[in-house]
């Protein structure tokens, strides 16, 4: 290439080639080639609109379209030659189009700029990711709900402060995550609604003097409408920040559940078993079975929330409208969205794979006087004691049991009566962990009957979504 036509796309007034470092700092092709499909879709819609509006001829449009279709298949076949000298995906594709169709290619860029082009491509990319997450999260919820149904009556300890609090069921615990991932899906959908406006036609920043039809391109690309302000259109990256915010919170949820998996598969807890498919061995300690997948799922939130922070810092303080700073939006976003995708599917796999060790859960559910609240409630119900007093009486009974080194249910009636003489032996019926969970029948409570109903409701709802997706 001669110095003069250093860049065939914008080199008209330039005398020298770019410095070598420019290929390193300026070129984005190494990562933005991931948006090639979106770029081609945007260009095809744009060309069609230009022809329909009489801005280019139908012959030129046909040539451009044919060329773009060919480029798409070259990319899919892996034969497309990307060049760093051509900076980004937009110019790589346009340059190739020129090789294929000649002069008509030069008409494609009428009434548009790379600024509205990249904003459009990235919205299309992020939108497709949101749709993938929705399907993947529905699958994860489905896996959780199915496991919850079989474990609707599997008693385990419920913790607060990671101290034994009250018995719950494993099914109930799993359904808590179904709720969380449901809210995550809602947040992605909210982001999608605001994202779904088309920036194409905002051109560089001010709009265009050509009689374009922005409704037409918006519709062709599946957007609800064109964006309303050309400056905002090319400078806005809210759509990806919002998506990364939804992704971060989702990753926080994944991290919390992963931490529980890590704890529960330890011999100390012994609540869960993960098969060889989701664990690894140690090269030195032959007995080890490490929950690597859960640990990595726990960690992914670091990059995902980091990406959101990173992008907000890039956008902060940028004057309107487009600045090249904004090219820094893609790598972090791609990495974060890839990470979330991997984490969601690894977690789905672990949920399918995990087997609760019901005996251990049941035994642990009784540790730490976990039915003390049931005893206090019994005093309120049967002896009409005010709850505060019942709390106090129960505390003294717990202390008596602790002193003898026995569980509440093993404490002789006489010992209880020393604290409160009107206690009778019907109290023992509420002290087992099974009775405890069975009694929690309030809406949203852990009673097996409730859990079964909820799990079935989720399964019915998710069944069609999962089958459809
Ligand atoms: N590669 C650029 C980006 O990712 C495309 C837009 C460049 N626009 C420009 N006027 N240089 O943001």
Pocket test for ligand 1, best of 115, 311, 329, 332 (most atoms within 8 A of CB): 115
Structure confidence at residue 289 (pLDDT): 87
- Which of 28, 347, 390 shows the shortest CA–CA distance to 174? 347
Q: Is 255 part of the annotated catalytic residue set? A: no
pTM of the model: 0.94
Paired strand residues for 208: none
Question: Is the distance from CB of 361 to CB of 155 less than 8 angstroms?
Answer: yes
Rounded to whole angstroms, the Cα distance separating 266 from 272 reads 8
Ligand 1 pocket, 327 CB below 6 A?
yes
**37 in Cβ contact with 127 (< 8 Å):** no
Length of the chain: 469
pLDDT tens figures, 197-240: 999 999 999 999 999 999 999 999 999 999 999 999 999 999 99
Q: Cβ(39) to ligand 1 under 6 A?
A: no
Handedness of CA 401, 407, 413, 417 (dihedral sign): positive
Q: Could you tell me if 259 and 248 are in contact, meaning their C-beta atoms sit under 8 angstroms apart?
A: no
Residue 194: cis peptide before it, omega within 30 degrees of 0: no
Cβ–ligand 1 distance for 235 under 6 Å, the answer no
Residue with the nearest Cα to atom 11 of ligand 1? 324
Work out the pLDDT band at 468, boundaries 50, 70, 90. Answer: low
Q: What is the DSSP letter of 6?
A: S
User: Cα 247 from chain centroid?
Assistant: 4
Full 3-state SS string of 402-452: HHHCCCHHHCCHHHHHHHCCCCCHHHHHHCCHHHHHHHCCCCCCCCHHHHH
Kindly report the average pLDDT of the chain as a whole number.
95
pLDDT class for 285, splitting at 50, 70, 90?
Answer: confident
Mutational pocket test of ligand 1: of 30, 324, 331, the residue with most ligand atoms within 8 Å of the beta carbon: 324
What three-state secondary structure class fits 207?
A: coil
Angstrom distance (rounded) from CA 218 to CA 46 = 9
Q: Is 282 a catalytic residue?
A: yes
Ligand 1 nearest atom to the CA of residue 87, by list position? 1
C-alpha dihedral over 255, 256, 258, 263, to 10 degrees? Answer: 140
329 lines ligand 1 (CB under 6 A): no
pLDDT band (50, 70, 90) for residue 6: low
By alpha-carbon position, which residue is closest to atom 12 of ligand 1? 327
| Residue nearest atom 3 in ligand 1 by C-alpha distance | 327
Distance 91 CA to ligand 1 centre (A): 10
Parallel/antiparallel/unpaired status of strands 272-273 and 355-356: antiparallel
Most informative mutation of 114, 117, 122 for ligand 1 (most atoms within 8 A of CB): 114
pLDDT in tens, 373-387: 999 999 999 999 999
Mean pLDDT of 155-181: 97
Each residue of 404-423: pLDDT tens digit?
Answer: 999 999 999 999 999 999 99
Angle at which helices 238-264 and 301-315 cross, to 10°: 160
């Amino acid at each position: 290439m001669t110095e003069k036509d250093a860049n065939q796309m914008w080199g008209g007034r330039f005398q020298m080639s770019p410095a070598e470092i420019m290929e390193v700092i300026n070129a984005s092709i190494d990562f933005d080639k991931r948006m090639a499909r979106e770029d081609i879709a945007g260009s095809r819609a744009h060309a069609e609109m230009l022809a329909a509006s009489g801005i280019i001829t139908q012959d030129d449009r046909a040539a451009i379209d044919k060329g773009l279709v060919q480029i798409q298949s070259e990319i899919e076949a892996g034969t497309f030659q990307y060049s760093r000298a051509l900076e980004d995906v937009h110019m790589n594709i346009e340059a190739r189009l020129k090789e294929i169709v000649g002069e008509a290619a030069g008409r494609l860029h009428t009434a548009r700029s790379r600024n509205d082009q990249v904003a459009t491509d990235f919205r299309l990319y992020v939108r497709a990711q949101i749709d993938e997450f929705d399907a993947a999260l529905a699958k994860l919820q489905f896996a959780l709900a199915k496991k919850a149904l079989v474990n609707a009556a599997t008693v385990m300890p419920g913790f607060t402060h990671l101290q034994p609090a009250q018995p719950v069921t494993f099914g109930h615990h799993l359904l808590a995550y179904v709720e969380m991932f449901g809210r995550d899906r809602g947040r992605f959908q909210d982001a999608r609604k605001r994202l779904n406006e088309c920036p194409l036609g905002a051109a560089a920043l001010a709009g265009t003097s050509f009689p374009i039809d922005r409704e037409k391109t918006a519709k062709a690309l599946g957007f609800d409408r064109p964006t309303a302000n050309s400056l905002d259109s090319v400078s806005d990256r809210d759509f990806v920040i919002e998506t990364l915010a939804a992704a971060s919170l989702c990753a926080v949820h994944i991290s919390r559940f992963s931490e529980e998996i890590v704890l529960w598969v330890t011999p100390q807890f012994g609540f869960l078993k993960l098969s060889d498919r989701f664990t690894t061995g140690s090269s030195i300690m032959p007995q080890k079975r490490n929950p690597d997948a859960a640990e990595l799922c726990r960690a992914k939130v670091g990059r995902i929330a980091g990406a959101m922070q990173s992008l907000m810092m890039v956008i902060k303080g940028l004057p309107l409208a487009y600045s090249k700073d904004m090219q820094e939006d893609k790598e972090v976003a791609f990495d974060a969205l890839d990470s979330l995708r991997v984490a969601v599917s690894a977690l789905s796999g672990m949920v399918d794979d995990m087997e609760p060790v019901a005996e251990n859960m049941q035994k642990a559910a009784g540790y730490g006087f976990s039915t003390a609240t049931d005893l206090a409630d019994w005093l309120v119900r049967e002896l009409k004691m005010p709850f505060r007093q019942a709390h106090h009486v129960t505390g003294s009974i717990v202390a008596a049991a602790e002193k003898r080194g026995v569980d509440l249910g093993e404490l002789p009636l006489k010992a209880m009566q020393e604290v409160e003489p009107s206690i009778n032996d019907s109290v023992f019926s509420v002290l087992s962990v099974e009775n405890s969970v069975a009694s929690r029948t309030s809406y949203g409570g852990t009673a097996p009957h409730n859990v079964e109903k909820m799990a079935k409701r989720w399964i019915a709802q998710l069944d069609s979504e999962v089958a459809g997706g």
